[in-house]
A and B are shown apart, each in its own frame.
Chain A
């Protein structure tokens, strides 16, 4: 009897460690965060008061929060559109018969193995010193000052850097998606009278929907939670124009010592990601190739 029980459930033994780790480092902080979002905890002492939904009410009136939501939305949309569009374009190029295919595949994947912080610091130098030097040399006035110094310039630069690094993974994912399409199907389509454009829209794209939906979620997540590169490159400035929600949470928690309030923002962020992911999965399941 005892032996039977062990034989039946011994697989759980292997799961105990990861489950425990997940509870300690994922679910517990999640609920803890939810709890603190209902308090006025400063993060410095153990004294806090329960304030109900007050933090969430404050959020609705917070100018910084509104601005941050705006920037995060722009960044996220740019990342989603950019990673999908550029990713598919590059993947198609890498999938065609070109010379040094392996080299180019490695080349385009390279940014993915770099640390976000490193990339940001390199580009900070490029924007602050590299581009202005080129601007001065060629007498291009808008390049002569650092892009990171103006609101719009900083937003564009941030999007560029995040895309530059973020598109590496999608390229590989799309490449795998493209390679899963049997040649015969594309040949059948060309015999049916489709040109390469039509083959792309009618055959390749439907086949890549699972990859697209995966990249969508990856880009969504990286856009909504963008932090390290922005922190290193602009620190949210100028004028909070590049303060992402992640950065805002950080600023409120560690600069303003409003841990409770920061947690409320984090919870809103969590709900946002959950809703969009859920809708996205529903939609892509409907259209994907079985």
Chain B
């Protein structure tokens, strides 16, 4: 059992007057796959490096298995890490790269052999053991980096944007492989990425970060369906959620700036909004691109939810079309059926699926409805 606990962890770099990581609280269970996600500079890599021991912790406690590890050297923490640029030892063969950590730990030659063969089998590296990193492709190097972590049998894996140097196709393959690997090995893993698709597909729990602060911790579905604030709502999901500044009046939300639309809020949500005192007040209304419809059936069923918009750009992606349209001055992105491809300048009727609408307080930007 390896639990990882971060209690009120802060990080301030010398010479900086602001904290890079603020009041970070997270309790990671054994075998969990945790993904830190956020834009660059949000403190996700810094936090990972504090866990690794490569950066010291300015304030707070960090525990592995209940033991405080703040001042323990990286080599004593028994953590394996995969770096963004692979960080393979260029002068060593693939075999020696993987064996290095084991040799330092004085593991017997037979055991090293056996472990490396096993890892090479899993990662499809058997034919490359005698090569040096320079003679490998990006994907193979990434696999060696993973192999180096696997052979260590470390109870915790850290991965710092391991896929960001690969091309799009390889990234998808390797993503699946990492998922498979975690199912096999069940090692507690902390994974850093700025790619929300990686976060959604790999994580047991996602930790969304911004400006060194945790915005939300939750399962991918929770984070997607119940974003805690405007930032999380906008960051998770691709294309991003659409936001409108609206005013709630007589059970309808009215576009604040231009009065371009007035859409009724469904019963349940309306009750909640009223109960919280938002009647007649300003709100941020969010709707995901996939919850904006152009199908006749929907438009007929919800005639009150229709908004008129002008197409700016239309992207046909094969199975679906992404419509970039304009409602008054506000941009609206929608994911619709491929058949609903429209030319720029064309007027299109958009139906909002209000049961999936999100509401946020305009000041705190926190979600109201959950």
Contacts and interface: CB of A to CB of B under 8 A. Distances in A.
Interface in B130-181: 132, 134, 148, 152
Q: How large is the interface on B (under 10, 10 to 19, 20 to 34, 35 or more residues)?
A: 20 to 34
A202 B87 contact: no
Contacts of A189: 89, 100
B52 interface: yes
Contacts of B90: 185, 289-290
Given A202-B100, A290-B134, A191 B79 contact: yes
A7 interface: no
Given A289-B90, A290-B90, A190 B83 contact: no
Interface stretch (A52-60, A123-131, A192-200): A192-200
A66 interface: no
Contacts, number: 65
Given A202-B100, A290-B134, A192 B148 contact: yes
A89 interface: no
B85 A184 contact: yes
A203 B101 CA distance: 13
B75 A194 contact: yes
A147 B152 CA distance: 58
If over half of B's interface residues share one DSSP class (helix, strand or loop), that class is named, otherwise mixed; here it is loop
Nearest to B80: A191
A182 to B, nearest CB: 7
B87 A184 contact: yes
Interface residues of A, number: 21
Given A189-B100, A195-B75, 11 more contacts: A182-B87, A184-B84, A184-B87, A185-B89, A188-B81, A191-B52, A191-B74, A192-B152, A193-B105, A202-B89, A202-B100
Interface of A: 182, 184-185, 187-195, 198, 202-203, 206-207, 287-290
Q: 8 closest Cβ contacts across the A-B interface?
A: A192-B101, A188-B87, A184-B87, A289-B91, A206-B91, A193-B75, A193-B104, A191-B81
Interface of B: 52-54, 73-75, 79-81, 83-85, 87-91, 100-101, 104-105, 132, 134, 148, 152
27 contacts: A184-B85, A184-B87, A185-B88, A185-B90, A187-B74, A187-B83, A188-B83, A188-B87, A188-B89, A189-B89, A189-B100, A190-B75, A191-B75, A191-B79, A191-B101, A192-B152, A193-B75, A193-B101, A193-B104, A193-B105, A194-B75, A194-B104, A195-B75, A203-B89, A207-B91, A290-B90, A290-B134
